[in-house]
Amino acid sequence: MDRVALRGLKARGHHGVFPREREEGQTFLVDLVLGLDTRPAAASDDLAKTVHYGIVAEEVVAVVEGEPVDLIETLAERIADQCLKHEGVQEVEVVVHKPDAPITVPFDDVTITITRSRV
């Protein structure tokens, strides 16, 4: 399986369990690795035979900016579901970064990584 990666998609969302997170929102970053067979697209040089990663990026940002959820686990699952709606995508790895998580000690980032497939 071939891989198409998108790194550092940035969007503002209102996800979290605390009222401040829901009211003020915060920046989330998303990394994706889409698993698909790119041979048909390469052989024909036809965008219709692969995944349009620009559209995927827009859809993922819309998920992050959309309906709030409590957990980044839920957000990652919604992102994976959206990616798998694309016919050629057989598998997706989603990493959701929450660099401004409400943690009381110094830290760089909080992430959740999930892998989902059609199988």
Q: Which residues are catalytic?
A: 98
- 13 has which bridge partners? 26
> How many angstroms from the chain centroid is the CA of residue 35?
14
DSSP 76-97: HHHHHHHHTTSTT--EEEEEEE
> Residues 19, 24, 29, 34: is their CA dihedral positive or negative?
positive
Q: Reading across the β-sheet that carries 26-36, which strands appear in turn?
A: 2-13, 26-36, 91-97, 111-117
Residue 97 CB neighbours (<10 A): 21
